[in-house]
């Protein structure tokens, strides 16, 4: 059983399992799937002020905080018990393109040339980590949800705004990966 969990699951198994979360949440508790709203719930728990945005009954959404805690716990357990130190396999064309930007350590999921304390103090590092983090937070709030909420929950319930948001996520990701990121990496 452990070997089954360690292997990547094919899309035709993992995709439907993720998709089945939508009717399960709707049938069992009339709940919507999404992750970004949990930050609002956490702030409502921790911020004792009367800010209208955080002033609501967060206890009705406590399940979402447990869901996110389960994601974090699952990640920790996966790293400690399911991680195998095999080298990351990527396409040779991508490896060649990344080496042109000075990214040669491709042995882990996160290239150390991009994510370390020294690179954080450079202009590209600040743009990617601080600017990117701000834009993700702002974008998910402005769009009324994150990619998981819109692309999984919203599309499966045939929400027109979720289709627009998902298309914008995809277009923005394409533009970032193909045009903006190469410009940032050459700074």
- The string of DSSP letters for 128-159 reads IIIIHHHHHHHHHHHTTS-HHIIIIIIHHTT-
Has residue 109 been placed in a domain? no
In this predicted structure, what is the pLDDT of residue 76?
A: 93
Contact 43, 54 (CB under 8 A): yes
Has residue 95 been placed in a domain? no
Do both 141 and 76 map to the same domain? no
In this predicted structure, what is the pLDDT of residue 69?
A: 93
Total domain count for the chain? 2
Q: Which among 13, 20, 16, 64 is positioned nearest to 38, based on CA atoms?
A: 64
Do both 120 and 68 map to the same domain? no
Do both 75 and 126 map to the same domain? no
SS3 content of the chain, % helix, strand, coil (to 5): 70, 0, 30
Which segments of the chain have a pLDDT < 50? Answer: none
In this predicted structure, what is the pLDDT of residue 179?
A: 93
């Amino acid at each position: 059983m452990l070997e089954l969990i360690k292997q990547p699951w094919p899309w035709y198994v993992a995709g439907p399992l993720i998709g089945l979360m939508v009717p399960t949440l709707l049938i069992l508790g009339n709940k919507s799937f999404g992750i970004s709203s949990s930050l609002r719930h956490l702030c409502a728990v921790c911020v004792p002020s009367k800010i209208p945005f955080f002033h609501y009954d967060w206890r009705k959404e406590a399940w979402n905080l447990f869901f996110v805690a389960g994601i974090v716990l699952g990640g920790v357990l996966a790293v400690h018990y399911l991680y195998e130190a095999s080298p990351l396999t990527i396409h040779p064309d991508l490896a060649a393109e990344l080496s042109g930007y000075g990214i040669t350590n491709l042995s882990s999921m996160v290239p150390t040339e991009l994510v370390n304390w020294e690179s954080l103090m450079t202009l590209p590092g600040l743009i990617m980590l601080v600017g990117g983090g701000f834009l993700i937070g702002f974008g998910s709030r402005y769009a009324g949800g994150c990619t998981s909420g819109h692309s999984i929950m919203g599309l499966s319930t045939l929400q027109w705004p979720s289709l627009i948001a998902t298309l914008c996520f995809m277009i923005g990701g394409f533009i970032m990966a193909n045009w903006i990121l190469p410009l940032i990496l050459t700074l």
